[in-house]
A and B are shown apart, each in its own frame.
Chain A
Amino acid sequence: MTAPTPEVLALLEATLDAVVIMDDRGRIEAFNASAEVMFGYRAADALGRNVNMLMTAVDRIGHDDHLRRYLAGGESRVLGRGRDVRVQHRDGSEFSVFLSVGRIQNTSPPRFVGFLHDTSLRQKALATLEKERQVNRLYLDLAQVMLVATDRNGVVQLANQRAIRVLKREHAAIVDSNWLESCVAPDDRTIARAAFRSLLVSGNDEPQVCEYHVRSSDGEDRFITWRGVALRDADNFATGVMLSGEDITDQRRAESEAHRALERMNSVARLATMGEMAAGISHELNQPLAAIANYAQACVRFLRLPKHDLPEIAGALEQIASQALRAGEIIRRIRSLVRNEDVRRETQDVNELIREVHGLLASDARVHDGKLALDLTSPLPSVTVDGVQIQQVLMNLVHNAFEAQAPEHDGAPFEVRIATRCTDSGDVEVSVSDLGPGLAGEAEQKIFEPFFTTKASGTGLGLAISRSIIKAHDARLGYRANQPRGACFYFVLPAHQEAPS
């Protein structure tokens, strides 16, 4: 036997596979470092011993015979082809290796080299990997969001349980299908595609947010908020995208219902003119006051009777107390209503404010069988006002105008006109005019006084409140006779002054 060259030695020591060389009788001639680690023998202990000590009991028997038969010119089941075999560690434990055996050429007697690759390690790693995958899978499935990963072409690589549930499809029906074509609602594909491209070309890893519908297998569209990031390889090349999606269909539905309810409430509140509001308030306040007066007077009468029904009197007194509190509560509510805690002055276009309430005013017109005409000058200087309050005043004036005409309806055009114009001083005048009877002498004097009313069912508060609102805007609510007939109420709002910078 010739001593191995340094190159061969280096090779033997560098390889992670165990390398074992044996002679024609199966005696070990070389045993590299990896073999030492794999089998637990030191090379010095292994050299010269029969290689079958590395084998399991099953293989050990007959190995020598097999070797002899081969050397006598027989067939080899081993040479030139690798196979998985079980081997035995020095401590007796068995494990699997991938074994390939070669005959070393030009030596006599013949010698053999065996490469043993520890597949149990690989299997262990595979098992670990599989376990990790399962854990990851579990994480994915535990997530309350939809998780979907696709490759660069949008082909789905992964979808978690949540995604499966929302899409109502089998995992297999999602994976390997094209995300945009098979899962995104047709109307939203353009948005989804744009978001997908944007992710692939974006340089950073900030999640991008977008919203679009997915369509489930039964045709239902669910609205999803998506957060997406690009998946990148080692070269920072975007290989695909990962999306996490939250199903906000129900939330959106609830939100829009709440929004609609609020809108309804707002329009109802606006529809109720201030006069109606005041009538409602005075009626409401009258109830507890009437009850208190009744109870108190009943008590006096009971006490004048020769025999006192004290429990009854006590009950009435309790009622008096609670009705007084009820009245106080009503007043508190009015105060908070009048205090206008939410007053927000903003720069506004009066024409825009008028157009916003036009629908409501037009319905008031229909109720009174009349017409509402807009005569808006455009453009107008903008004004700084509380839009809702100005709209309330407008509603009140328009409502009054229709009511003023109602009893006089004599076939004449039944029309209320809202006009805006820019005054000579550059301010904005808003006027509401009608073709009703107008105001006679005394009424013209008193029209803005609280509780003065010309209407059968009026409270006389609408105009008074309107005036105080307009006054709070540094303007004046005025009256002039309309031409050719009727009444005209107007106010002039100061034009918005740009703050000096």
Chain B
Amino acid sequence: MKDLPQTVFVVDDDDAVRDSLRMLLKSAGVHAEACASAQEFLTSYDASQPGCLVLDVRMPGMSGLEMQHELNLRGLTMPVIFITGHGDIPMAVEAMQHGAFDFLQKPFRDQELLDRVQRALVRDMENRARLRHTDRIRERLASLSPREREVLDLVTQGKANKMVAGDLGVSQRTVEIHRAHVMQKMEAGSLAELVRMMMAVAPSP
């Protein structure tokens, strides 16, 4: 499951542009799939497939910007590289403001595209790894008992066992046992590691 091949999804309504992009990527050894419309992509895409998107800003039906918005709504984090024409720069700027990975003005040099694609694929890999990591932490957190969770929250705030015992109204020995369970269940080797884990799953400010 872990190592699905990375795929570049090309979404462009122009047959020639779409096919030429697919072929260019193929010539560089990049696996690419092409869709003629945003709708086609959204109905066929499986979120577990890693990769990135190469998207035309201007498309009939759902435009590239609208598709980006839709991806954001669905919580899909795949990096998006926009391809724009001459008059579309403002649109590209807007896309970047909404979290697009990069944009390219066509026509473009192959290396420009391939570099961006490579960077986007690396970004996606990192995103997915991070996602897997936080997913694991959340799973472990879910396995804690309510009392263990209380102990975890207090020790990661930097409180010593004695203070935790005082806060919770239990013996210091009881806290030590809970704490040992927490470290074991969270698979944390040290308090510092536990703190990092909690920061990774904390909602971003």
User: Is B110's CB under 8 angstroms from A301's CB?
Assistant: yes
User: Is A286's CB under 8 angstroms from B90's CB?
Assistant: no
User: Is A294's CB under 8 angstroms from B110's CB?
Assistant: yes
Q: How many residues of A contact B (CB 8 A)?
A: 30
User: Is A283's CB under 8 angstroms from B24's CB?
Assistant: no
* B residues adjacent to A (C-beta < 8 A): 14, 16-17, 19-21, 23-24, 26-28, 58, 83, 85-88, 90-91, 106-110
Alpha-carbon gap, A316 to B16, bound state (A): 10
- Within 8 Å CB of A288, what residues of B? 16
Given A297-B109, A301-B28, residue A291 in contact with residue B20 (CB < 8 A) = yes
- Within 8 Å CB of A294, what residues of B? 17, 20-21, 23-24, 107, 110
Within 8 A of B (CB), among A289-307: 289-295, 297-302, 305
User: Is B106's CB under 8 angstroms from A286's CB?
Assistant: yes
- Within 8 Å CB of A326, what residues of B? 16
User: Is B58's CB under 8 angstroms from A319's CB?
Assistant: no
User: Is B20's CB under 8 angstroms from A283's CB?
Assistant: no
- Within 8 Å CB of A457, what residues of B? 87, 90-91
The A/B interface has a contact count, at CB < 8 Å, of 85
User: Is B20's CB under 8 angstroms from A459's CB?
Assistant: no
Alpha-carbon gap, A301 to B25, bound state (A): 10
Alpha-carbon gap, A33 to B106, bound state (A): 111
Since A295-B23, A323-B20 are in contact, a sample of 12 more A-B pairs with Cβ atoms closer than 8 Å, ordered by chain A residue number, is: A283-B85, A286-B107, A287-B14, A289-B107, A290-B83, A291-B20, A293-B108, A294-B17, A295-B20, A297-B24, A298-B20, A316-B23
Q: Give 1 or 0 for each of A315-329: 1 = CB within 8 Å of chain B CB.
A: 010010011001000
Within 8 A of B (CB), among A309-342: 312, 316, 319, 322-323, 326
- Within 8 Å CB of B14, what residues of A? 287, 291
- Within 8 Å CB of A295, what residues of B? 20, 23-24
Q: Give 1 or 0 for each of A433-463: 1 = CB within 8 Å of chain B CB.
A: 0000000000000000000000011110000
- Please give the distance in Å from A89's CB to the nearest CB on chain B: 93
Alpha-carbon gap, A323 to B28, bound state (A): 22
In the complex, which of the residues A283, A290, A300, A458 contacts B58, with contact meaning CB atoms closer than 8 Å? A283
Q: Is A217 close to B, CB under 8 A?
A: no
User: Is A291's CB under 8 angstroms from B87's CB?
Assistant: no
